[in-house]
């Protein structure tokens, strides 16, 4: 008999050679039915693996995150099996689990797999699920491995060199080889797996992408087939619904439909804000400017183009060159105006700023500062330009020019804690204002390679920690993940689809004040170097706006809505009255529009709803006679007839 420890601290006695499955069976038949895998001494393994005395075992069911990963990895095998049945010349490489599913990288010497093949592959997968093959684990030697991989022999007569490469690496590390077999299919795999293919009913292939063996562009081109799997059909359906919902909320699509912004080939990665988008942008900017003014900042404006020399001082030239735009002078030949010289040697070459901090450092050292001025909080909605590789640009999320709600706080080390607490309050106020209450905080501390004294690092890190604790903010600690010049706090917010976005960041900097020679005169009359705190709350106004478009699905709260109400005359007989309503509400401060088109009422209502205008104001004969308006919300609720005053009085918060 062996004794097995359970998570609740109790123990179970089992016969020698028993497995986790036997353990589950002994606890309850229901648990055996629901068991997916087991965590033995902290490692996830197959249910069928024999246990040894003293093991501590947790049975994993579909409720456990680890179990879902096991399921998905098994599903990767299932998919690989199906693909090999359809494409016998395919060679498997690796097939790991990723965030919301799995993929398998496949080498296909010729031909290709496209999404059109999905139905065929899925049909084959369904067949294998129905056959309900058990997953069997087998340990093997290298020779046996060769044997196992006989079926992967390439058409040219060679072995599957990808698997052979993996095998030789594993062997070199002195680890044993394990294979997993279901039906005729066998694959090199660490495991574990679900008990049988019957578990893998709820799957879906999602997309195809290119990849390279070992992520090395010089090596073989592979086809990456993505899929996902869930324990229940409901979960799979929910996931498919989530994908559809996310697609509907795509800010690039809504940006087009709601006429918020546009992109042009002549300016890739540089959005054009259309009138309605510009209202949104300005609403965010105005909100931020107001808050900054109320919370003890000074606001500045710094130049876009600065001498290259400055970027040497700041260190960006050495570390950030690839992401910077540089100006390039041209000259016309004085004798021949059609001749242009491109390669002009510039006396003072200039660069477009990718960050605002050097400018703010220059403002700080513009004159001698006293300790009495600290903390000095310098804020700027600063437009920065950053070159991005062509493949990474994405709507408003990743652009080449954007406006940071940037600020740099110059303070003494003693003031760090107080400033961080103020920032926590500031950030919280902002996110709450936009209905983003789900905020996750990460604290990253000193990396191996860093500058600054132990003393300053220690003070800074404990200040950050104390501030987080004082504000009761749970946080995730990322030891060693800070920048070389200081620790940082990142804010990740979740939108209404539970997607996480990194927005705010607070970074301490012990380096830049030094580089720029920023000093203040202390109480002792001597010069001291301040600490610099970089911080941005939106991050980028453009990106934050993109997040809000998706968060609200274009139906912004009243105070942000580009058009807050639209006047719809029942027919053009009532245009005069409609104009009157329009002017009065505009004068009251509401952003108004008026629909003068010769369409039927129903059509204009529909248009207003699709444009997500919060209120449609209908005016016709009845309204003219009683000097009222008839109000309908974009959700389709009829608020009925009311006076203009009553309408304005009942509005929820409509300016911030």
Partner RNA sequence: GCUGCUGUAGCUCAGUGGUAGAGCGCGUCCUUGGUAAGGACGAGGUCAAGGGUUCAAAUCCCUUCAGCAGCUCCA
Catalytic annotation on 372? Answer: no
Longest dimension (CA), the chain: 101
Nearest residue to 542 (alpha-carbon basis) of 280, 154, 160: 280
* Dihedral angle of Cα 176, 177, 182, 185, to the nearest 10 degrees: 180
Nearest distance from C-beta of residue 620 to RNA, angstroms: 3
Catalytic residue among 187, 406, 490, 495: 406
CB of 519 to RNA, least distance (A): 21
Which residue number, 37 or 567, has a Cβ lying nearer to RNA? 567
Q: d(Cα 250, Cα 645) in Å, to the nearest integer?
A: 37
- Of residues 112 and 153, the one with the C-beta less far from RNA: 112
CB of 226 to RNA, least distance (A): 7
The answer to whether residue 570 forms part of the interface with RNA (CB under 7 A) is yes
Rounded distance, CA 457 to CA 452, Å? 7
- DSSP letter at 448 equals S
Give the DSSP letter string of 332-376.
E-SS-TT-EE--PPPSS-EEE-S-SHHHHHHHHTTS-EEGGGPSE
Residue 58 or 316: the one with the smaller Cβ distance to RNA is 316
What x/- string results for residues 244 through 273 when contact with RNA is judged by CB under 7 A?
Answer: --------x---x------x-x--xx----
Q: 395: which residues sit within 8 A by CB, 6+ positions away?
A: 250, 251, 252, 255, 271, 546
Minimum Å distance from CB 534 to RNA?
Answer: 9
Question: Which of 77, 193, 386, 535 is the catalytic position?
Answer: 386
With binding defined as CB under 7 A, does residue 211 bind RNA? yes
Tokens representing 291 are 């808050």
Q: Which of 571, 583, 643, 650 binds RNA (CB under 7 A)?
A: 571
Minimum distance from CB of 406 to RNA (Å)?
13
Instruction: Please tell me whether residue 446 binds RNA under the rule CB under 7 A.
Output: no
Residue from 88, 603, 645, 650 touching RNA (CB under 7 A): that is: 603
Nearest to RNA of 390, 523 (CB atom): 390
Find the radius of gyration of the CA atoms of the chain. Answer: 32
> Does the active-site annotation cover 600?
no
Phi, psi of 210 (to 5 degrees): -85, 155
207 is a site residue for RNA (CB under 7 A):
yes
Burial class (CB in 10 A: 0-12, 13-18, 19+), 383: middle
Is the CB of 266 or the CB of 345 nearer to RNA?
266
Residue with smaller CB distance to RNA, 332 or 597:
597
597 touching RNA, by CB under 7 A? yes
Output 238 or 621, the one with its CB closest to RNA. Answer: 621
Tokens linked to 635: 């959700």
620 sits near RNA (criterion: CB under 7 A): yes
563 three-state secondary structure:
coil
Applying CB under 7 A, among 316, 360, 385, 535 the residue interacting with RNA is 316
Please identify which of the residues 148, 408, 604, 634 carries the catalytic annotation. Answer: 408
DSSP state of 214: G
> Residues near 548 by Cβ (< 8 Å), separated by ≥ 6?
280, 434, 556, 560
Q: What are phi and psi of 399, to 5 degrees?
A: -120, 175
User: Would you count residue 462 as binding RNA (CB under 7 A)?
Assistant: no
Residue 528, beta-bridge partner list: 520
605 binds RNA (CB under 7 A): yes
Residue tagged active-site, from 251, 369, 377, 534: 534
Crossing angle (nearest 10°) for helices 454-470 and 416-433: 40
Q: Cα separation of 291 and 621, whole Å?
A: 45
* CB of 80 closer than 8 Å to CB of 104: yes
What residues numbered 366-395 form the site for RNA, per CB under 7 A?
A: 388-395
Does residue 600 interact with RNA by CB under 7 A?
Answer: yes
Asked if 382 and 369 touch (Cβ cutoff 8 Å), the reply is: no
Look up 406 and say whether it is catalytic. Answer: yes
Q: How many residues bind RNA (CB under 7 A)?
A: 60
Which tokens in the block code for residue 81?
């099996």
Give yes or no for residue 572 binding RNA (CB under 7 A). Answer: yes
Q: Give the footprint of RNA on residues 59-118 (CB under 7 A).
A: 98, 112, 114
Residues with Cβ within 8 Å of residue 402, at least 6 apart in sequence: 383, 384, 386, 540, 541, 542, 543
- Closer residue to RNA in complex, CB, 140/166: 166
Residues whose CB is less than 8 angstroms from the CB of residue 635 and which lie 6 or more positions away in sequence, other chains included:
none
**Segment near RNA (CB under 7 A); pick from 191-199, 331-339, 491-499, 634-642:** 634-642
Q: Verify binding: residue 242, RNA, rule CB under 7 A.
A: no
Site stretch for RNA (CB under 7 A), options 49-57, 63-71, 371-379, 606-614: 606-614
**Active-site annotation holds for 458:** no
534 labelled catalytic: yes
Q: Is 313 in the site for RNA (CB under 7 A)?
A: no
Contact 424, 416 (CB under 8 A): no
Which residues does the annotation mark as catalytic?
Answer: 357, 386, 404, 406, 408, 488, 534
Which residues would be at the binding site for RNA (CB under 7 A)?
98, 112, 114, 207-212, 215, 217, 221, 224, 252, 256, 263, 265, 268-269, 315-316, 319-320, 388-395, 483-484, 570-573, 597-603, 605-606, 609-610, 616, 618-623, 630, 632, 634, 636, 638
């Amino acid at each position: 008999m062996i004794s097995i420890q359970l998570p609740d601290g109790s123990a179970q006695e089992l016969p020698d050679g028993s497995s986790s499955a036997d353990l589950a069976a002994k606890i309850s038949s229901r648990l055996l039915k629901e068991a997916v895998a087991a965590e033995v001494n902290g490692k996830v393994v197959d249910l069928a693996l024999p246990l040894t005395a003293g093991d501590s075992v947790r049975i994993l069911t579909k409720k456990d995150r680890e179990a879902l990963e096991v399921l998905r990895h098994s599903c990767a095998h299932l998919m690989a099996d199906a693909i090999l049945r359809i494409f016998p010349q395919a060679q498997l490489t690796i097939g790991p689990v990723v965030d919301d599913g799995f993929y398998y990288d496949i080498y296909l010497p010729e031909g290709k797999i496209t999404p059109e093949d999905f139905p065929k592959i899925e049909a084959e997968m369904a067949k294998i699920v129905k056959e309900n093959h058990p997953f069997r684990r087998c340990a093997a030697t290298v020779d046996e491995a060769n044997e196992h991989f006989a079926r992967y022999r390439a058409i040219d007569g060679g072995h599957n060199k990808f698997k052979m490469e993996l095998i030789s690496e594993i062997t070199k590390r002195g680890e044993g080889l394990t294979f997993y077999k279901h039906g005729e299919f066998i694959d090199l795999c660490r495991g574990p797996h679900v008990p049988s293919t019957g578990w893998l009913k709820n799957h879906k292939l999602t997309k195809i992408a290119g990849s390279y063996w070992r992520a090395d562009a010089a090596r073989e081109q592979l086809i990456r087939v993505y899929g996902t799997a869930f324990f229940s059909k409901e979960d799979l359906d929910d996931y498919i619904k989530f994908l559809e919902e996310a697609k509907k909320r795509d800010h690039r699509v809504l940006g087009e439909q709601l006429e918020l912004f546009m992109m042009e080939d002549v300016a890739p990665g540089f959005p054009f804000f259309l009138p309605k988008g510009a209202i949104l942008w300005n609403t965010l900017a105005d909100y931020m400017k107001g808050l900054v003014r109320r919370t003890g900042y000074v606001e500045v404006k710094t130049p876009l183009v600065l001498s290259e020399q400055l970027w040497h001082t700041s260190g960006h030239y050495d570390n950030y060159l690839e992401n910077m735009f540089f100006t390039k002078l041209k000259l016309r030949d004085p004798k021949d105006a059609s001749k242009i010289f491109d390669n002009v040697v510039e006396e003072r070459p200039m660069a477009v700023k990718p960050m605002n901090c050097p400018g703010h450092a220059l403002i700080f050292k513009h004159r001698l500062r006293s300790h009495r001025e600290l903390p000095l909080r310098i804020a700027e909605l600063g437009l920065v330009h950053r070159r991005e590789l062509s493949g990474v640009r994405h709507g408003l999320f990743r652009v080449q020019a954007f406006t940071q709600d940037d600020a740099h706080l110059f303070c003494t080390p003693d003031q760090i804690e107080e400033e961080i607490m103020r920032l926590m309050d500031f950030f919280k106020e902002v996110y709450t204002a936009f209905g983003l209450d789900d905020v996750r905080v990460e604290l990253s501390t000193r990396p191996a390679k860093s500058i600054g004294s132990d003393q300053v690092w220690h003070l800074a890190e404990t200040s950050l920690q104390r501030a987080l604790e004082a504000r009761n903010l749970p946080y995730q600690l990322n030891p060693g993940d800070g920048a070389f010049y200081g620790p940082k706090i990142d804010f990740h917010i979740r939108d209404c689809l539970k997607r996480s976005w990194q927005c705010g960041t607070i970074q301490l900097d012990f380096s830049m004040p030094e580089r720029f020679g920023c000093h203040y005169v202390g109480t002792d009359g001597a010069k001291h170097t301040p600490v610099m705190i970089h911080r941005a709350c939106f991050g980028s106004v453009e990106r934050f706006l993109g997040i809000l478009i998706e968060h609200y699905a274009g139906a912004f709260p009243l105070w942000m809505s580009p058009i807050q109400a639209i006047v719809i005359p029942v027919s053009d007989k009532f245009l005069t009255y409609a104009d009157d309503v329009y002017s009065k509400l505009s004068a009251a401060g509401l952003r108004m529009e008026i629909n003068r088109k010769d369409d039927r009422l129903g059509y204009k209502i529909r248009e207003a709803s699709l444009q997500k205008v919060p209120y449609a104001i209908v005016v016709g004969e009845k309204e003219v006679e009683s000097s009222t308006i008839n109000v309908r919300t974009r959700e389709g609720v009829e608020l009925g007839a009311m006076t203009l005053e009553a309408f304005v009085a009942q509005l929820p918060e409509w300016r911030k």
